[in-house]
Amino acid sequence: MGAQLRVDGVRHYRGGHEVLHVDSLDIHDGEQVCVLGPNGAGKTTLLRLLAAAERPHTGRVSVDGTDIEHGGIALRRRAAYATQRPGLLSTSVARNVTLPLAWRKVPRKRRRDLADDALRLLGVAHLADRQAAGLSGGEQQRVNLARALAIDPDVLLLDEPAASLDAESRLSFLHDLGRALTGRTTTVVHVSHRADDALRLADRAIALVDGNVWQDDTADAVIRRPADANVAALVGYDNLLDAHVRTDGEVTVRGEHTGLPWHGEPGPVVVAAFATGVCVGSSASAGVPARVERVVPGPGYRTVVLEGNPPLLASIPLRAPAPSAGQHVRISFDPDLSRVLPRSVATHRGPAPAPAPSPRVPAHAATASGT
């Protein structure tokens, strides 16, 4: 069973500063939602409010229509909150997992069975009798998640559980997490600053910037059609270039045409492009002039770093001839992998300008940055 979460007119402050400002947010029963945002965006604050670990300074947070302020411990026990740091207790792994069950008055025999099932699901059943303090970071996170899943919560709140893991452990952990959530009707809210987490685990992604909901759409749409430059940076676009839309509708970068479409008003905009969407041509070809700073080899491709502040990145296949450092080139943008975006939707909150359809986004491009 899941639960319907509702955030209504919430303002929350820390040290006199507003850290969260959400007018309205509904998370439906059984939905799997990823909240994306840079550090300090208010993601953890939102999660803590949903977990009833904090009360909003103004506004209301409710679970199935019951205000968390009035729901008491019965409401809190419907949710499980897996924090970024596992915070395991100084006891055995099994005891860590059974303790929340004991607090819920689950019979002793059943506790151990549920704990074993959850540990098995996360691949750490063999650690049940070990002391939690002696586990590796990845093992601790798995136990932390098993502890949350063992109670079969209506709401599962995950605060970047894979953030501290190395790349290999992270992928394996996220894979097992996805498998553990398959077939469950639990409402899941997963906070992350990585776009690939959104793609992997969520039906829906909410971009949170400066405590405000910047974009709320399907995970795929947020990555393919970010609302503005802030969200583009968040979802891993490698390049964000200042650009200008002329009165004739042409989008220019450094005064040169890009050929990219834009359906909004003339004025300053941003061109967001994945490195794979930046094509490097000779100085005689059409495009925006640039100078090669250096060429960095990568797995299966080379990254051409072009001078600029910040530098512009372009990925070229290994089989393609690489330009040399100092060489003058011209760049163009693949319209499938590049977007023209408003600099910020903060100045005109509301629906972002209708973007051009985008048929594909290569997975590795979307996961290339942890911005």
Chain residues in the site for other proteins (CB under 8 A): 48, 51-53, 73, 76-77, 79-81, 83, 85, 87, 89-92, 94-95, 99-100, 103-104, 129, 131, 147, 151, 157
CA proximity to 24, closest of 51, 55, 62: 62
Residue nearer to other proteins on the CB measure, 100 or 323 = 100
CB 148 → other proteins: shortest distance, Å?
8
CB 99 → other proteins: shortest distance, Å?
7
CB 131 → other proteins: shortest distance, Å?
7
Other CB atoms within a 10 A radius of the CB of residue 221 amount to 16
Residue nearer to other proteins on the CB measure, 32 or 96 = 96
Provide the 8-state DSSP code for 79: E
Residue nearer to other proteins on the CB measure, 17 or 105 = 105
Residue nearer to other proteins on the CB measure, 49 or 219 = 49
- Which residues have C-beta within 8 Å of that of residue 23, sequence separation ≥ 6? 8, 9, 213
CB 229 → other proteins: shortest distance, Å?
33
Whether residue 190 contacts residue 200, with contact meaning beta carbons closer than 8 Å, is answered with no
CB 70 → other proteins: shortest distance, Å?
16
Residue 232 parent element (H or E): helix 229-234
Residue nearer to other proteins on the CB measure, 40 or 281 = 40
Residue nearer to other proteins on the CB measure, 104 or 120 = 104
Residue 172 parent element (H or E): helix 167-181
- Which strands form 32-36's sheet, in the order they lie side by side? 66-67, 58-63, 5-14, 17-27, 212-218, 204-209, 32-36, 187-192, 155-159, 79-82
Residue nearer to other proteins on the CB measure, 89 or 346 = 89
Strand-pair category, 79-82 with 155-159: parallel
| Token pair 């609302």 in the structure block, residue | 227
Tokens of 61: 């947070």
Whether residue 173 contacts residue 194, with contact meaning beta carbons closer than 8 Å, is answered with no
Q: What are phi and psi for residue 114, nearest 5 degrees? A: -65, -40
Residue nearer to other proteins on the CB measure, 68 or 352 = 68
CB 92 → other proteins: shortest distance, Å?
6
Q: CA-to-CA distance for 158 and 242, rounded, in angstroms?
A: 35
CA proximity to 240, closest of 169, 175, 302, 333: 333
CB 93 → other proteins: shortest distance, Å?
11
DSSP 264-276: S-SEEEEEEE-GG
CB 53 → other proteins: shortest distance, Å?
5
